[in-house]
Structure formats: structure tokens, C-alpha cells
Structure 1
Amino acid sequence: MVAQTFEDPTDLAGRRAALAAALEKVPSTRAGGQRSVLGAAPLSEIVGAGGGAEQVQESIPVLEPLTGLLPGGVRRGDAVSVQSRDGICDYLALALLAGALAAGLWCAVVGVPELGGPALADLVAGEGDVDRAAALDRLVVVPAPGEQWPEVVAALADGVDLVLVRPGIEVRAEVGRRVDARLRQGRSSGTRHSAALVVLGAWSSARLVLHTAATTWTGLDGVGPTRGCGRLTGGVSMLVAEGRATGGRRHSARMWLPAADGAARPIDDAAVAARGTEASGERALRVVA
């Protein structure tokens, strides 16, 4: 598959044209017009929307509570590895998507059919005045690319700002190098659009590796045989970032991910302590990733 490119990265109409051309080559998006997450709008409407100019940012912004962990956001042209149990798309991966969508950018998700649409919507809505429906209309989902996932990623990289992919198989070295070269090509030319790649799982060349070290869930009641029953009211997550992008140092941060409203929130330790004792017999469940 040869991805169509365009010369001016600030040309939104050109980007939509490139994205439309790329999607025509993706088999799983042809039948019935693959919809964005939550079925907000057909892709034919998304890529056919009116033109205009947009400001291309050097890095992909992250949600406000994540800025302490990733002060510069996620750099375009880079690969980020998100390590999670069994390669699931956890709240950390969703938060990276939500940050880009809330900033008005375009995203794609490849090979994650169980993507948590409601959870993603809550994370986006947590950014204040963001139009949740409009943000989700900028999300393209290719749930089952099969062995074509490298070609799908390469094609979509011309039209979106961030691609989240789960290969589903061990990635051969030559395949990884080919995808990396595609990302570097967009970044190095200076005149072409450049996307960031977020991989669910290991990626040998990733400049940044992220994972959730542990999450303490609140809202669970009971003792003895009934311990762990109840409705979850939020999770305090310990997030870790390391790799070349952090200068080889290990950075960590604690935050509500998610908070009671489903958004990412800064930690108020006094409130967390009060929350743990407000109900008789209430227990917190700590999950280590």
C-alpha cells in the first residue's frame, strides 16, 4: 500500500483528502462506511467536512493531569510504547487519545475492537468546554486490520495526528523499522504532516515507555466473603514514564485515572484519605499492573 501525501501540513482540506484516499485502501472501512467511535458520524462525512487551516503543533498535547509526567506532550514522529496487562487498552492509553482529541487533533485506533468508547468520552469531557461529540468525530477506528496493520498505520499517518495500534502479534524487526521510517519521513521533511505512534505492547525503538504501576480502586465494600463488592467510584493510578525521551530517568506521577466523573484529575491526598474512611467497612482494592 502506498500512502498518499500532501505538501502543506497546515492545509486541513489536503489532510482530509489524504485521509479519504488512505481509507479507500483499508478493506475494513469500505463496507457501510466505518464509523468513528460511538457511531457519531460516518467517515465519509468526517473527511468531507469543510476546509480551512489549522495550527500544527510540534508535539501532541496531553491531558492537564498528565503534564507533570509528560511536560512536553508526545513528540510527532516518535513511537511510544504503552505496557499493560495482556495488551489491553487501559485508561492510560485512552488518556493519550483523549488529550489529542480534546486539543482538536485527529486520531486513529487500529486493531483495538474493544476500545472503551464511553470511558474515552468521559476523559475528553473532563477537559472543560470541549465539545465531546465533535472531538469523537475526529476519531477513526479500524477494528480488525489483520496482517495489514503496518500498511493501515502508514496510510493513516498521512491524515491524523496520533495513531494508536495494537499489532496483536510479535512485530518482526524489519516491520518495525519500516513503520519507524514512515514516521521519521514525515518529521524530517519539514513540509509533510507527521503523526505520533502509540503502540499497545513492546516496540523496540520506542523513545518513551509508559505503564501503570498500580491502581487503587475506591468504592468497594464488604469484609470476609463479601470483600470487594460494590460500585467503583474512582481509581488512583501510579503512572511511570521512562526511556530516551526522559533522558534515561524514571518519572512517576499519581492521579485520579479515572476520577468519580470518569475524567483524569490531580490527586488531593487529603480527599483520598477521607474517601477511604467515609463509609463503614469500605475497602480499597489495589491492582498492580
Structure 2
Amino acid sequence: MTASSVDLSGLERAERVTELRRRLAAMPGGGAPAAARAQVPTGAAPVVSVPADPADPAEPTGPEGPEAGAAPDVVAPGAAVSGVAVPRSVASLLPGGVLQAGRVTAVAGSATLRVGLLAAATASGARCAVVGWPELGVAAVAEQGGRLDCLALVPDAGPDPAAVVSVLLDGLDLVLLGPGVPAVAPSRARVLAGRVRTAGAVLLVGPGWPGAELTLAGRHCRYGGLGTGAGRLASVSTVVRCSGRAAPPRTAEWVAAG
């Protein structure tokens, strides 16, 4: 399985829109509105997690991470939730245990956190796109259990990335803006936020984005598998902090494969 890379260089705006819609229709499960695909029935909301310490199934505490490429576990929070799945330790920080549909969330700090969110979302079947992040290593997404056939890449969105994002929101469950996409003016951010709500999708932006309702900030705190001058990286522990208008500040540790 390979991620689909969309080359928009040299295309006019109308041609970009046509090409994006063609690629979106070709992705697995294409055609249904994002809001309809994101709706999860009561008791069956999928939240993708990494294997945990048996003594504490709710939150991994040891240095060992999941085996690279292994399919992640799925748990169900028992409440009707519309949104996109996340790693279980991150789910404990979020209202409803998912990235809720129709909301804009900022992601700051560790690139591992962004990769983990993409892996969890695609592993649950959500269709995702990454805009403005040509350095993204899709192998890392696959190692976390993600599905690359549910991932579209737009390394260069041209002079108006917001217009590209608007088209993607109409057909996908989650759109992540990479470090190559700068924050927009508050007025433009409000327009995009309206598109997010209408589509029932999730938009992940960088720090400093106007109007983001939540912020997830990741910071590496421990590496597993490495000894003194020897060893092989087996896992990366990341402290994730969630803050914003929709939830009180909370912190958890998430262990990802190295």
C-alpha cells in the first residue's frame, strides 16, 4: 500500500480543484460525505491504541512500544461520538475520546505526535490528507499501523493552500497542515472553520492558527531499546498535553514504535 501524492505544480486553480476531486473519488470508500463516514454508532466508536502495560490497560507506562507495522488495537468508549480515532492515551485527553468532527485542532511540538494521529486515523478507515509537508516519512505512518491507501499527500499546495484545503475538506475525514503551511489571517481562518463544520471533517493545523478550539502539544520524554552506546530504538515516549476552550488542560504519556 502506498500513499497517493498529488502534484499540483503548474496547474491553474480550476485545474487543481478538478485534479483533487478526481484523486479523492479514487481513494478507498470515496464518494460519501465526510460527516456521514465519521458518524459512529453508540458503543462502537473506534479509538486506535498502542499495546499497554497489562497492569494499566488505560495508559502505557513502560518503555516498550508496539511492534513496527503491527495493526493497532481498537477499543470502544461506549458513547455516541462523531469524529476520528486517535491513540488510546491521547483519547483520554479529548472530549468524547476522538478528534471531534467539525472542529479545528492545533498540533504543536513533536512530529511523532502528528505521525501517530495520522496512523490511528487511517488505521480506523478514515480518509486523510497531508498538505505542505514534503518531508513526511510515510514509512513511519505504516510502522505505527496506519493504512497508506487512506492517505493522500499534497506536498506543494501552491500560492493559496487554504483553497486546496477547502476542496479536501469536502471529501475527506481529516486534513493535516504541515509546517510548510503558514497561519492565515483570522478572517480566512473563520471561513475555513465554517467549511470544517459543514463538512463534518477534522482540520489539524500548526501552533498559532487563529481560532483553534484545542491544542495538542507533544514532547519526547524517553526512548526505549537504547543502552549506553548500544542498542536499537524500539519506542519513543511522548508527553502529550491537551488544552483549549473545549477541555481543561490534561497531560498523558503515549508510547509509539521507534
1:91-114, Cα deviation, whole Å (9 max, x unpaired): 111122122211111111110111
Give the Å deviation of 1:147: 2.1
In the other structure, the counterpart of 1:64 is 88
| Rounded Cα–Cα distance in structure 2 between residues aligned with 1:173 and 1:45 | 31
Q: Is the 8 A contact 1:111 1:146 kept in 2?
A: no
Match of 2:212 among 206, 212, 234: 206
Q: Secondary structure of the equivalent of 2:38?
A: coil
Q: Secondary structure of the equivalent of 2:160?
A: helix
1:168-218, Cα deviation, whole Å (9 max, x unpaired): 33422222122112223x1xxxxxx42110013321211110111332113
Q: Is the 8 A contact 2:87 2:120 kept in 1?
A: yes
Larger radius of gyration between Structure 1 and Structure 2: 1
Q: Which has the higher strand share?
A: 2
Give the Å deviation of 1:52: 8.2
In the other structure, the counterpart of 1:175 is 188
Q: Is the 8 A contact 1:82 1:202 kept in 2?
A: no
Over the residues paired in the alignment, what is the CA RMSD in angstroms?
Answer: 3.1
Q: Secondary structure of the equivalent of 1:252?
A: strand
Give the Å deviation of 1:117: 0.7
Alignment of 1:115-194 (within 5 A): 115-124=136-145, 135-166=147-178, 167-184=180-197, 186=198, 193-194=199-200
Gaps of 5+ in 1: 1-22, 34-41, 126-134, 187-192, 263-289
TM-score by length of 2: 0.67
Is residue 2:203 matched to residue 1:197? yes
Q: Is the 8 A contact 2:109 2:219 kept in 1?
A: no
Q: Secondary structure of the equivalent of 2:171?
A: coil
Give the Å deviation of 1:44: 8.0
| Rounded Cα–Cα distance in structure 2 between residues aligned with 1:46 and 1:121 | 20
4+ residue runs over 4 A deviation: 47-55
Q: Is the 8 A contact 2:184 2:210 kept in 1?
A: no
In the other structure, the counterpart of 2:56 is none
Alignment coverage as a number of residue pairs: 200
1:75-126, Cα deviation, whole Å (9 max, x unpaired): 11111100126xxxx111112212221111111111011112111012125x
Alignment of 1:22-101 (within 5 A): 25-26=15-16, 43=23, 46-47=26-27, 55-57=37-39, 58-70=82-94, 71-84=96-109, 90-101=111-122
Q: Secondary structure of the equivalent of 1:137?
A: helix
| Rounded Cα–Cα distance in structure 2 between residues aligned with 1:221 and 1:84 | 26
Is residue 2:221 matched to residue 1:215? yes
Q: Which has the higher helix share?
A: 1
Q: Secondary structure of the equivalent of 1:242?
A: strand
Q: Which amino acid aligns with 1:140?
A: A
Q: Which amino acid aligns with 1:244?
A: R
Give the Å deviation of 1:149: 0.6
Structure 1 residues 44 and 51: alpha-carbon distance in aligned structure 2, compared to 1, 3 A threshold: closer
Greater relative contact order (CA < 8 Å, ≥ 6 in sequence): 2
Q: Secondary structure of the equivalent of 1:177?
A: helix
| Rounded Cα–Cα distance in structure 2 between residues aligned with 1:49 and 1:238 | 34
| Rounded Cα–Cα distance in structure 2 between residues aligned with 1:194 and 1:122 | 28
Structure 1 residues 173 and 50: alpha-carbon distance in aligned structure 2, compared to 1, 3 A threshold: closer
| Rounded Cα–Cα distance in structure 2 between residues aligned with 1:182 and 1:138 | 21
TM-score by length of 1: 0.60
| Rounded Cα–Cα distance in structure 2 between residues aligned with 1:109 and 1:77 | 17
Q: Is the 8 A contact 1:46 1:137 kept in 2?
A: no
Alignment of 1:3-14 (within 5 A): none
Q: Which amino acid aligns with 2:176?
A: L
1:214-259, Cα deviation, whole Å (9 max, x unpaired): 321133343xxxx6x653221122111111121xx2111112123x
